[in-house]
Chains A and B, each alone.
Chain A
């Protein structure tokens, strides 16, 4: 029972939290690490030369090493960011600014707005052609369509590794292999992946990746980017300021040439301490155990959903993933979530920042259940009971 690791369940013992894809709950070890910074360090890293500041710098760099090990990258390829959205903006601005005009960038229409909107903005800004691949027909056809868009005019393939609404389970190895054969850079948004599956950036042969800590049991306001060492010099920093320069003259600014040029301003050090602790926590549990537990929960949820004729899922045939989008037929998702809330069942109800996907599905909004390491079969039972109540209230004549 991992619920005991999460103090929020002491304060809210009846909490049924099924919204971990929005943000995961925080274990005590992460909270302790954040407090450790404020109580025992509380100084700025990479600046002061007194002991306290030097210790903070050492600790921040220890976490950078931890993230590099976690991703299978080199230490010099990891930068801290305030989160995935900032990270993706840094990556796309930096890279797309210097590619030839009219080049093509390929993305899927199921992308989260954190990935899609920076691409739309920077492609427009730098006169590039953004190809948004439609989610038509089967996964195999989507994969073929995606690959068909890759050509020698394409400079970037930029994808969510896992969707935050509708997992496609694409064959990434194959897609990346095709992209690399055409010398197309591959950048991934791994926000929905790393709490459930590890990514080795070298084995997967990707060029850049962004993620945030708060979806992997870490604090909000902190994330990281990986950029392949051969690419770093080609990217201009989006945000400039203190901590990223070698020299400043009135006529010229000499920025760092390495990965730290993307870390302007004071770092979120408390967040970084918590970031380190959340990676320790994840690895302590182990991905094998996480996947086993999630598959078992997914199996139960799918079976339960199949019994309920009033549930409509997206896609129709579910696979054993960590998140599920659906609706109660004839009931607005806000209304369903409101009834669930009365039973302390927390799930997401909206477009989940995927407007294009919902347009494709021809629905205004949907409900989403997502698992974390603290999720249990009892949580699913409570969810199902509550959904039956929703159906009774809204769909029965005397409800």
Chain B
């Protein structure tokens, strides 16, 4: 039996939320993990300093893609200054798995890509 946290990751990985390319996006960034070839490409529509829409595409391990899906549910509607307060602990709480340094790097790819897109 797969544990509930892992099952949640698998669910998001197999059927991600907000997957695809937004039309008329205002911000975007593609992040690559050179050590394993994973990619996460984020697209945002930001209006009045609020993340109105967010989507992503990518390829890679379940953690990198599922965490992007989970993050997408959380940040749509956030003000940019509130988004910038999000850190890796927030991602850890979302994923609910014990992530070592290597896996945390995968899990925070979408967060890092979004930060870079905004900057």
Contact = CB atoms under 8 A, between A and B. Distances in A.
Interface of A: 332-335, 338-339, 342, 350-351, 364-365, 393-394, 399
B5 to A, nearest CB: 11
B101 interface: no
Interface stretch (B60-68, B74-82, B86-94): B60-68
Contacts of A364: 36-38
Given A332-B61, A338-B63, A394 B10 contact: yes
Dominant SS among interface residues on chain A: helix
A332 B35 contact: no
B36 A350 contact: yes
Contacts of A332: 36, 38, 60-62
B3 to A, nearest CB: 8
Interface string B10-38: 10000000000000000000000001111
A365 B36 contact: yes
B10 A334 contact: no
B103 interface: yes
Nearest to B62: A335
Query: Looking at B10, B36, B102, B106, which has the most chain A CB atoms within 10 Å of its CB?
Result: B36
B37 A334 contact: no
Contact of B37 (A335, A365, A393): A365
A393 B36 contact: no
Given A393-B10, A394-B10, A335 B35 contact: no
Interface of B: 2-3, 6, 10, 35-38, 60-63, 102-103, 106
A350 B61 CA distance: 12
Given A350-B35, A351-B36, A365-B36, A334 B103 contact: yes
B2 A393 contact: yes
B63 A334 contact: yes
Contacts of B3: 342
Contacts of B35: 350-351, 365
A365 B37 CA distance: 8
A334 B10 CA distance: 13
A168 B63 CA distance: 34
Nearest to B10: A393
A334 B102 CA distance: 10
Given A334-B36, A351-B35, A399 B10 contact: yes
Nearest to A336: B61
A399 B1 CA distance: 10
A399 B6 CA distance: 11
B12 to A, nearest CB: 13
B63 A335 contact: yes
Contacts of B36: 332-334, 350-351, 364-365
26 contacts: A332-B36, A332-B62, A333-B36, A334-B61, A334-B62, A334-B63, A334-B102, A334-B103, A335-B61, A335-B62, A335-B63, A338-B61, A338-B62, A338-B63, A338-B103, A339-B6, A342-B6, A350-B36, A351-B36, A364-B36, A365-B35, A365-B37, A393-B2, A393-B6, A394-B62, A399-B10
